[in-house]
Amino acid sequence: MGLLSDPNRRRALISLLTRLNAPICVLCYFAAVCWFMGLSFEPFTLRTYMSENAMGSTMVEERFPAGERALATAKEFGAHKKKVGGMPVDWLVKTMQARGLEVFTQRFSRTLPFPDENNERYIVEGTNVYGILRAPRAPRTEALVLSAPCSPGDDNNQAVGLLLGLAHYFRNQVFWAKDIIFLVNEHDLIGMQAWLEGYHHTNTTGMDWSPLQGRGGSIQAALSLELSSDVVTSLDIVLEGLNGQLPNLDLANLFYAFCQKIGVLCTIQGRIQRNDWDSVSGYSHAVQTMMLMVMKQASGRSWGDHGLFLRYHIEAATIKGINSFRQYKTDATTVGRLLEGMYRKLNNLLERLHQSYFFYLMPSLSHFVSIGYYMPAFGLLAVILLLRALDLWVQLATPPSRNEDGVADIEQSSTGVLSVLTPLVISHLTGAALYMLPVRFQEMAVEHFQVSETEAVVLTAIAVYTGGLALPHNTHRLISGEGTEQGWRVLKLVAVLYLAVLLGCTALINFSLGFILALTLVPVASFVTPHVPKLLSAVVLVILSPAFTLLFSVFIFQELQEMPVSFQDGWMLYLSVISQGILDHYLYGSLVYPLIALMVYPCWLLFWNILFWK
Amino acid sequence: MSALLKRSCSHNMLAAIIMLIFICFCVHFQNTAGQFFSSGHTNNWAVLVCTSRFWFNYRHVANTLSVYRSVKRLGIPDSHIVLMLADDMACNHRNPKPATVFSHRNMELNVYGDDVEVDYRGYEVTVENFLRVLTGRLPPSTPRSKRLLSDDRSNILIYLTGHGGNGFLKFQDSEEISNVELADAFEQMWQKRRYNELLFIIDTCQGASMYERFYSPNIMALASSQVGEDSLSHQPDLAIGVHLMDRYTFYLLEFLEDIHPASKSNMNDLFKVCPKSQCVSTPGHRTDLFLRDPGSVLITDFFGSVRKVEITMEAIHLTDPILHPMSEEVQEKTYSYVDQLPVSEIIHQKPKQKDWHPPDGFILGLWTLILLVFFKTYGIKHLKHIF
């Protein structure tokens, strides 16, 4: 007879499962953590390589000559920017037209849901200026984008100058097979969002923008440039985009290949690669680089202007010039040559970049971990949840000895299902409240308390979150029957399966977010029962809740960036992170805030309910 | 008598040397006549196919065009060349030098030129069209330039290049031709008497697998690499940004640049093109189906169009009245062949190595000496009967 249909064997398996459940769960958890930490160990990673045949090697001759002229243009741009007090639209239009581009502008305006204290803006109005270099002989079906942000103050002047210099040089070449769009966007991400929405005729975030008069073709790749100094010591590439989406690895490979050809120092996460992977410090350096990438990806923010392109299946990255205290400086001509080489190779593309990985982690610029290698870490955590669910199922299926007959069982389990529904509904209503109340009732909060709108929103969110903790003591009055032993088991089974599906789906889209949530929520899900010591487990549960995970992540992130903060500063940073998260959702459609408010928090509340089950 | 004997000894040695020279002369005479009558073809055709498209396969188009250039220079006219190019590199948007296809770095040699006639272009280069061209099964509306109008006295050169594998050649990223199909197509050609002799050259990865299955007679095949080996590209050009040629065809082109229509290089020289040290892969060839000895097959038998003219000794009666008959008897004249294409007018040619012949008067004197020695030795009385 088969393994599972033979009742003796089945009983043996089931008893094995129940006996060994806890040890296997603990083992799996540690295995998952070890696997994750082992991912950045260099022998377990693969070297990066170009997968796209059409791009070939770096076999191209870069001849960009005009770095100095680009810097002069940058100074002019800075002067005009200061004179106008914002984006010098007329000067930009005139300069781009002088370089032979077809120039268009786009006006946009947006009222933020509440004032953004980090960037000090509330009602945003701006103009994007873009010039299109038409391919001399090709039909206008495909385009590439080079963008530089127009930042307040003296930032990114050189980026715009280099952009204009490259536009002038590119205009003189005959080998462009795609249109090249040179974009200068105002108010960084907001302007970029307006431009992309106008280009693709979508309106997902409720922004107000004027339609684009000129268009290129479907955009194949985009690079965003951030350069604030005349010389750089290194170039940093930023890959993480909105909702943790990453561009195709071939774009990073292309950047790295050209950095090596031209001899520029290239970094990722702002950290220089080290060669001593077998030493402890080398390994910890790689771990820190990978953890930085994991945290940036989990936050769901777009860490450069490129991040908004990824949603439209346009591979994009941001290249930042960093000027630190190193001896060897790279001038603007070399940076221009690097960009020229990259664009010539992107020009050779026949299809969008799709040959290389879309899901990866990079412990350094020359090594990567693909999804096939890092997913088992999450899989091991999901297995814990499944084992727990199986254990509960077995417990539910085998009635306890004090029940006499099967009829009473069925009755109890049916009432159990109904009683499960109530906590579910109430948790999700709390989650909905956490999602909607902070922004809707900010005026009321401002009236009653003397705080600014941003603080009102954040503090309302925290208040709703903490208010949810009081729920179990109150909802029991609503439940008709008494809570039973079967009841909490059914609830826990449902909650564990719900968490498993939720974390699984999250990990597929944004592995880092799923993994970090799983690290804290899976232990919660496994050990919580009404019978564990209440006070201790309540404290543990609160510490492992999403809000505290975020708080710890903020501190760890600052540590990893070698800018550790004190508790006060950390707390203020935490509040600003929450406000930025809510703003990201309303401005660009980031899904982290709704996910946590509407799904993860209710799930956690279910476990809180189980803890206080009577 | 002893004096006679002494003279006879030295005369014997002289006789031996003279016999040797006589034998060599006979053999040489035999060779010249043999060469003239050995190849049975009267016309030459070429089918040159490039099967890859896309900008990064620039080198395949350059390969085909360089063979086209050589073949045209050696005399095959466009009407006898079927050129199939799967993509247009010269006018590709990414070409920094439009209307050119270069085969040498630093843009030394433009193989596109002014007079390239492409018969099958772009998406017309398919397996079906290629097989139809070979077997002649084309719809009646097909123009003559797209047909292979060969007969049983045609020598055909077939050159294929592109991406290939073990037993197949990829056409345009969407279909493949297998070695079995190709062998069957050649058999069809043989049965329809569409060729006299066929030279098949293929420059792809694992090219030798494509000629493994041939079974029709009179086919000679060359490939740039054996099964399991990749054919490598030769040199990139940084200004254009792609590899310009494949190694095997690059060295083949260099070899062919030295060939002129009157050159006497044979197939054994062609087999030596691009040894492993230059090509990295091992070129292969197959001659077991070929009836003649490859050493006696001239390169120009396939790559050029050197016409053989048959001269008849018969008198032809013309229906129109002739004013005067030239003479009553037919004059005995020795005929010789005019150079089809004067060598001096063709560039890139090395001066022809003339074979050295002993002067005619010397041969006459030699014969006289031989006769005298003979009669001296064996009796002078026979001399009376001759003179």
Q: Does A65 touch chain B (CB under 8 A)?
A: no
The encoded tokens of residue B187 equal 């058999």
Query: Using the beta-carbon criterion (under 8 Å), do B96 and A175 form an inter-chain contact?
Result: yes
Q: What is the DSSP letter of B231?
A: P
Tokens standing for residue B347: 């560039």
Task: Give the highest mean pLDDT range of A298-312, A415-429, B275-289.
Answer: A298-312
The alpha carbon of residue B266 is apart from the nearest alpha carbon of chain A, in Å, by: 39
Test B96 with A137 for CB contact under 8 angstroms: no
pLDDT at A474: 66
**Contact call for residues B57 and B94 (beta carbons, < 8 A):** no
Interface test mutation site (partner A, options B93, B105, B243, max chain A beta carbons within 10 A): B93
If asked whether residues A281 and A238 sit together in one domain, one would say yes
Are A547 and A436 members of one domain? yes
- Binned at pLDDT 50, 70 and 90, residue B311 comes out as confident
Write the CATH number for A109: 3.40.630.10
Residue B96 to residue A138, Cβ atoms within 8 A: no
Active site annotation includes B163 = yes
The tokens of A534 are what? 């209440």
Within 10 angstroms of residue B147's Cβ, the number of other Cβ atoms is 14
Output the average pLDDT for chain A: 89
If you compute the radius of gyration of chain A from its CA atoms, what whole number of angstroms results?
28
- Pair (A353, A499) in one structural domain: no
Same domain, A324 and A469: no
Q: Over 70: is that where the pLDDT of A154 sits?
A: yes
- Who's near B153: CB < 8 A, 6+ residues apart? B40, B41, B42, B43, B196
Whether A406 is in a domain gets the answer no
Res A403: pLDDT: 47
Contact criterion met (CB below 8 Å) for B178 and B83: no
Residues 6+ apart with CB under 8 A from A244: A297, A298, A299, A300, A509, A510, A511, A512, A513
Q: Which tens digits make up the pLDDT trace of B194-244?
A: 999 999 999 998 888 999 999 999 999 999 988 888 888 887 888 888 888
Three-state SS sequence of A574-605? HHHHHHHHHHHHHHHCCCHHHHHHHHHHHHHH
Which residues lie closer than 8 Å to A549 by C-beta, 6 or more apart?
A: A516, A517, A520
Q: Is residue A122 part of a domain?
A: yes
Residues of chain A with Cβ-Cβ distance to B94 below 8 Å are 175, 177, 347-348
User: What percent of chain B clears pLDDT 90, i.e. is strictly above it?
Assistant: 41
pLDDT at residue A605 in the model:
92
User: Which two three-digit tokens encode residue A535?
Assistant: 């006070």
| Residues A391, A292 share a domain | no
The phi, psi pair for A530, rounded to 5°, reads -70, -10
Average the pLDDT over A366-394 and give the result: 93
A74 close to A150: Cβ distance less than 8 angstroms: no
Residue A461 has pLDDT above 50, yes or no: yes
Does residue A46 form part of some domain? no
d(CA A167, CA A221): 17
A142 to chain B, closest Cα gap in Å? 12
Q: What percent of chain B has a predicted confidence (pLDDT) above 70? A: 82
* A58 neighbourhood in chain B, CB within 8 Å: none
User: Residues of B with CB below 8 A from A180's CB?
Assistant: none
Is A476 in the same domain as A536? yes
Residue A115 neighbours by CB under 8 Å, 6+ apart: A121, A122, A452, A453, A454
Predicted structure pTM score: 0.82
Tell me, yes or no, whether A29 and A95 share the same domain: no
Q: Is the confidence at residue B383, as pLDDT, over 70?
A: no
User: Is B96 in Cβ contact with A177 (below 8 Å)?
Assistant: no
> Nearest-CA residue of chain A relative to B56?
A54
* Per-residue DSSP letter, B298: B
Asked if A342 is an interface residue toward chain B (Cβ–Cβ < 8 A), one would say no
Summarize the confidence of residues B41-67 as an average pLDDT: 92
pLDDT for residue A404: 47
Q: What is the rounded (10 degree) CA torsion for A462, A463, A464, A468?
A: 100
Choice among A279-293, A324-338, B9-23 with the minimum mean pLDDT: B9-23
Q: pLDDT at position A402, please?
A: 47
Q: Residue A59 and residue B238: Cβ atoms within 8 Å?
A: yes
Cβ of B93 within 8 Å of Cβ of A56? The answer is: no
Q: Are the C-beta atoms of residues B161 and B250 closer than 8 Å to each other?
A: no
A141 in contact with B, Cβ within 8 Å = no
- Assess if residue A52 is contained within a domain: no
| H/E segment holding residue A572 | helix A567-588
Number of H helices, E strands in chain A: 20, 12
Dig out the tokens for B239 from the structure.
């200004």
Count of the separate structural domains present in chain A: 2
Look at residue B349 and give its three-state secondary structure.
coil
Reported as a single tens digit per residue, the pLDDT across B124-147 is: 999 999 999 999 999 999 999 999
- The predicted-structure confidence for B312-358, as pLDDT tens digits, reads as follows 888 887 787 766 666 555 667 788 877 666 666 555 555 556 667 76
Q: What is the pLDDT of residue B335?
A: 81
Model confidence at B183: pLDDT above 90: yes
Please return the burial class of A270, using the count of CB atoms within 10 Å of its CB with bins 0-12, 13-18 and 19+: middle
- The DSSP string of A282-317 is HHHHHHHHHHHHHHHHHH---SSGGGGTGGGT-EEE
Query: Same domain, yes or no, for A150 and A237?
Result: yes
Beta bridge partners of A179: A143
Strand order in the sheet with B175-178: B163-165, B168-171, B175-178
pLDDT tens digits along A493-530? 999 999 999 999 999 999 999 999 999 999 999 888 88
Residues of B in contact with A135 (CB under 8 A): 93
A185 - beta bridge partners?
A: A149
Q: How many CB atoms lie within 10 A of CB A114?
A: 23
Which of B90, B50, B45 is CA-nearest to residue B242? B90
Q: Tell me the pLDDT tens digit for each residue of A557-589.
A: 999 998 888 999 999 999 999 999 999 999 999
Q: Show the 3-state SS of A449-479.
A: CCCCHHHHHHHHHHHHHHHHCCHHHHHCCCC
The partner residue sitting opposite B55, judged by closest CB among A59, A60, A348, is: A348
- Chain B contact present for A172, CB below 8 A: no
Kind of pairing, strands B168-171 and A208-209? unpaired
| CA distance linking residue B18 with residue A67, whole number of Å | 84
Angle CA(A489)–CA(A491)–CA(A495) in degrees, nearest 5?
Answer: 115
Q: Are B62 and B101 in contact (CB under 8 A)?
A: yes
Q: Mean of the pLDDT values across residues A306-327? A: 93
CB contact under 8 A, B56 and A173: no
Tell me the C-alpha to C-alpha distance, in Å, between residue A29 and each of A426, A546, A571, B82, B212.
Answer: 31, 18, 30, 69, 58
- Domain of A600, in residue numbers: 11-39+371-398+415-610
Average pLDDT, integer, range B46-64? 93
Q: Is the Cα torsion angle A172, A174, A178, A179 positive or negative in sign? A: positive
Q: Considering Cα of B253, then B258, then B260, then B266, what sign does the dihedral take? A: negative
Mean pLDDT of A148-155: 91
Residue B50 to residue B161: CA distance in whole angstroms: 5
Same structural domain, A309 and A334? yes
In a 13 Å sphere around the CA of A557, the CA atoms on its Cβ side amount to 18
A135 shares contact with chain B (CB less than 8 Å) = yes
Q: Residue ranges of the alpha helices (H) in B39-158?
A: 58-73, 127-135
Query: How high is the pLDDT of residue A450?
Result: 81
Assess if residue A254 is contained within a domain: yes
Closest residue of chain A to B94, computed from CA coordinates? A175
Of B56, B91, B236, the CB nearest to A53: B56
Start-to-end C-alpha separation, chain B: 25
In a 3-state reduction of DSSP, which class is residue B273?
Answer: coil
A·B CB contacts under 8 A? 42
Q: Which residue, among A50, A140, A175, would best test binding to B if mutated, counting the most B CBs under 10 Å from its CB?
A: A175
Strand-pairing partners, residue A197, are none
Q: At what angle do helices A511-527 and A601-611 cross, to 10 degrees?
A: 10
State the Cα angle at B354 between B349 and B357, rounded to 5°.
175
- Residue A407 pLDDT exceeds 50: no
Known catalytic membership, residue B205: yes
Residue A433: exposed, middle, or buried by beta-carbon count in 10 A (0-12, 13-18, 19+)?
A: middle
Secondary structure element (H or E) that encloses residue A485, with its range: helix A485-509
- In angstroms, how far is the first alpha carbon of chain A from the final one? 43
Q: Which entry of B41, B60, B80, B205 is annotated as an active-site residue? A: B205
Q: Return the higher-pLDDT residue of A1 and A548.
A: A548
Inter-chain residue contact B55 with A59, CB threshold 8 Å: no
Residue A407: inside a domain, yes or no? no
Are residues B98 and A174, on separate chains, in Cβ contact within 8 Å?
yes
Distance (Å, whole) CA B86 – CA B102 = 17
- For residues A151 and A263, membership in a common domain is answered with yes
B45: pLDDT strictly greater than 90 = yes
Phi and psi for B173 in degrees, rounded to 5?
70, 5
Q: Which residue has the tokens 């990824």?
A: A310
Is B93–A348 a contact, with Cβ atoms under 8 angstroms apart? Answer: no
- Report the largest interatomic distance among the alpha carbons of chain B, rounded to a whole angstrom: 95
Closest residue by Cα to residue A310 from A236, A248, A226: A248
Closest CA to A401 of A314, A320, A485, A305: A485
Whether A436 and A306 share a structural domain? no
In a domain, A497, yes or no: yes
**A51 touching B, CB under 8 A?**
no
> A366 by DSSP, 3-state: which?
coil
Together in a domain, A22 and A88: no
Measured CA to CA, the distance from residue A439 to residue A454 in angstroms comes to 9
**Which entry of B80, B163, B234, B285 is annotated as an active-site residue?**
B163
Measured between alpha carbons, how far is residue A129 from residues A190, A539, B66, B103, B211 in Å? Answer: 14, 54, 48, 43, 61
Q: How far is B65 from chain A (nearest CA, A)?
A: 22
Mean pLDDT confidence for A300-325? 94
> What chain A residue is nearest to B242 in terms of C-alpha separation?
A59
On chain B, the residues whose CB falls within 8 A of the CB of A141 are none
pLDDT of residue B5: 56
Does residue A404 fall inside a structural domain? no
Task: Write the ipTM.
Answer: 0.80
Q: Chain B residues with CB-CB distance to A under 8 A?
A: 54-56, 91-96, 98, 236, 238-239, 241-243
* Contact criterion met (CB below 8 Å) for A287 and A40: yes
